[in-house]
Structure 1
């Protein structure tokens, strides 16, 4: 009896000890095994991983096929019910590392004896996470960035902690200044890492020499060489720099007031009452807000008073020239942002059909439309074969085609690494099939609006030119290319294709 009481007391002490770990079980062989297991499980469930450990985990999980860092991070946030401060840090680390992975890998490789890709993935992502904090986050003290990252790797790969510690210390020692207010044009390009908050200046030249223009821009902005070559062939040096700078700058948080339920003025008043910072966007339905928490928990979101959407998407919908009572087809509709905007402008009149080939995305879209009070008929179908499925002609057809996302790289974090010749060829072939698939569904006198969130000619102007050659029954209407702005809207393209009477 005394032995049992002593064992309980010792176990209680160990439960409250920060050094307690799963290996403690070997010291209590005489105890009932179920007791030990239950105690160990209880201790394990009490330990909640911190943002740095979860950042490494999210980066590992996002390597799986068809996985995306944003969805992975939100899944972990919900799983562990993180407080707002930890939620924000997890997002900053996971999204930041993904956005600047090539830059970080290039710098880290200068302090390794072998290529970073030959390290275990856990060690690689620990180094990337630690280096990101040191090079890009001025509010986190270097000692905290290093020590906490080393603690995180000790949990996952104890034998690698010394390597991570040594490399991160060497990176820290190589930094001369962070968030400098010195103009980048006056700095040594090989020692300068551009960031949205001001450059980080290194003590030693590490980045490629600017005479190697393509390589320098690829490393500096963490994009493919192919993408840099495309930009330089299309745009001026100044425009190329602005496009690339916008790709590494977190976007503004823009929402569209749902005019089926409120107005922008009333929504703005409501958000201000909820202590949310808000300002008017340039589009008459747009508001730009600053909210550090989970947007879906806001009362205004749950009541369907707004939809999260960039102003570029609002401008595309405006180009449909909508009127009440029209018959509209949204041909690649999920997740429903533009569909809901169309329903608002129609005031839920007329006939709106939204098509997508992904049933799960359509289910999520249905939830969005229900929340917003927007009415549309949803159809799961292959848009390339749509003219064989539907026997209705539409006044307006919106084809927001799948694309390289080259105009929204700051939002589609992984897309920057997928812009290659092979992928572009595949996308342009799909875009042609989609245009051919919906063209017969446009009424004479109606508008087929072709839109992308790309800024590349191959997906935009060239696609339209080829379409008009193949379809002489259409003529060109309005068209617009909007380049991404560091402090403004995303990049986009649209072209009105008017079917002749």
Structure 2
């Protein structure tokens, strides 16, 4: 019979190997870590503690990948080293430096995993991992002083320079230094089922709730509210503060004729539907039919049924509306804290030009179908100026009866929020 100590070691090694394989899928096969980790969460083959360990190791290694690779490459020859062994060494360094795990513990577990990859490389992993505990090795010593801080935070230099050019060195550095910050859970109350007052009365102390300073119907908590009855019963929806604000800026009335032009995964759509009369049908478009299940799953959990969704491009919009929400497709550089793999993806100029054109076409199409005196809210979850301020400037130049009445770029360091852009536009009578 195996002792609990041996069992724990087996689980630990298994969790480490799974972490490594997920990272291999992300870096070599271009898979999305959140999807791989969600699949892992649904399995019963691992304990909750081991699953939590895998999440921490995977996201942490992705966050600091550029830095970890830089340090490890000081003592190995990457072009001659098995890639999975390189991943293992990155994991080892992450644990030693950022999780303060004892070097001998990391070393022992890593050697066992190395034996599974290639038994002949166990000795190499043993010797190299011991070197990784040397604090002098951790120092960033490069000729390009501008890249010193970005490299320390695992932030791509090209993106840092782009942000510096768009805004300022100060803002770019703040984005870099906040990009790996842990955030609290942010959510709104589903007032279809319970009022904010009643929710606070029942759960304020239990979840140690804090009220958002950005959105009206938004709360923050360190408690994992996803694994609670309030989530399962549809009393709350996990949503970023800025995303909630985008809907609130629509100034909805009970009878407003409203459309959500790009509605997946259904967070903003469900909030819109809860703010209008239950008999008032909210229209929505979503071009990606693969997201149908997640949208309807969210709507059903929240008890929202006053929606009409068409799974096709919003460029097919053919009705007039008083309120339009366009949460446009974007590069996603605002959600680095939640999806750190985004900062490792560099889009081609061709891809970005196509994206800019699509955003403008959607914006123009929406405005054409906005009634006079109506309001259109344009939003993105990115911090790229060309997708945001520049896009709106070109739009306003082309539409003299469009009036910008609110504009704000959130960078992600203001508080608990992600990077996000919002522009509120009113259509004037010609």
Deviation at 1:333, TM superposition (A): 0.8
Deviation at 1:287, TM superposition (A): 2.0
Other-structure match for 2:132: 171
Distance in structure 2 (CA, Å) of the matches to 1:47 and 1:229 = 42
| Equivalent residues of 1:48, 1:80 under 8 A apart | no
- The C-alpha deviation readout for 1:84-134, integer Å capped at 9, x for no partner, is 32122111001111111101000111111x12x653332122111111101
Deviation at 1:62, TM superposition (A): 2.5
Other-structure match for 1:146: 107
Deviation at 1:351, TM superposition (A): 2.8
Taking a change above 3 Å as real, the CA distance of residues 223 and 480 of structure 1, as seen in their structure-2 partners, is same
| Equivalent residues of 1:312, 1:489 under 8 A apart | yes
Other-structure match for 2:222: 290
| Equivalent residues of 1:99, 1:413 under 8 A apart | yes
Corresponding residue to 1:128 among 90, 110, 115 = 90
Distance in structure 2 (CA, Å) of the matches to 1:79 and 1:49 = 17
Other-structure match for 1:381: 312
How many residues align? The count is 420
Deviation at 1:438, TM superposition (A): 2.5
Other-structure match for 1:238: 170
Corresponding residue to 2:51 among 83, 87, 107 = 87
| Equivalent residues of 2:408, 2:422 under 8 A apart | yes
SS in 1 for 2:334: coil
| Equivalent residues of 1:226, 1:420 under 8 A apart | no
Other-structure match for 1:363: 293
SS in 2 for 1:207: coil
Deviation at 1:472, TM superposition (A): 3.1
Deviation at 1:319, TM superposition (A): 1.4
Deviation at 1:286, TM superposition (A): 1.9
Distance in structure 1 (CA, Å) of the matches to 2:241 and 2:226 = 20
Deviation at 1:169, TM superposition (A): 0.8
- The C-alpha deviation readout for 1:144-181, integer Å capped at 9, x for no partner, is 22221222232233222222222211011x12xxxxxx
**Which deviates more, 300-309 or 434-443?**
434-443
Distance in structure 1 (CA, Å) of the matches to 2:164 and 2:141 = 18
Other-structure match for 2:144: 212
| Equivalent residues of 2:335, 2:419 under 8 A apart | yes
Other-structure match for 1:58: 22
| Equivalent residues of 1:405, 1:454 under 8 A apart | yes
1:416 matched to 2:343? The reply is yes
Other-structure match for 2:324: 397
- The C-alpha deviation readout for 1:259-308, integer Å capped at 9, x for no partner, is 111133433454468x544433333322222235xx54421111000011
Taking a change above 3 Å as real, the CA distance of residues 427 and 65 of structure 1, as seen in their structure-2 partners, is farther
Distance in structure 1 (CA, Å) of the matches to 2:201 and 2:14 = 36
Corresponding residue to 2:231 among 301, 305, 308 = 301
- The C-alpha deviation readout for 1:231-269, integer Å capped at 9, x for no partner, is 211333332221111111122211111111113343345
Other-structure match for 1:346: 276
Distance in structure 2 (CA, Å) of the matches to 1:460 and 1:325 = 30
Distance in structure 2 (CA, Å) of the matches to 1:171 and 1:331 = 50
| Equivalent residues of 1:214, 1:228 under 8 A apart | no
Deviation at 1:328, TM superposition (A): 1.0
**Which deviates more, 140-149 or 355-364?**
140-149
Distance in structure 2 (CA, Å) of the matches to 1:216 and 1:447 = 45
Distance in structure 2 (CA, Å) of the matches to 1:158 and 1:222 = 31
Taking a change above 3 Å as real, the CA distance of residues 150 and 78 of structure 1, as seen in their structure-2 partners, is farther
Other-structure match for 1:30: none
- Give the 5 Å matches for 1:190-339: 203=136, 206-209=139-142, 212-271=144-203, 276-282=207-213, 283-291=215-223, 296-339=226-269
Distance in structure 1 (CA, Å) of the matches to 2:67 and 2:150 = 8
SS in 2 for 1:288: strand
Other-structure match for 2:116: 155
Distance in structure 2 (CA, Å) of the matches to 1:119 and 1:368 = 45
1:447 matched to 2:379? The reply is no
Distance in structure 2 (CA, Å) of the matches to 1:491 and 1:205 = 29
Other-structure match for 1:478: 406
Deviation at 1:498, TM superposition (A): 1.9
Corresponding residue to 2:388 among 460, 472, 481 = 460
| Equivalent residues of 1:260, 1:347 under 8 A apart | no
SS in 2 for 1:157: helix
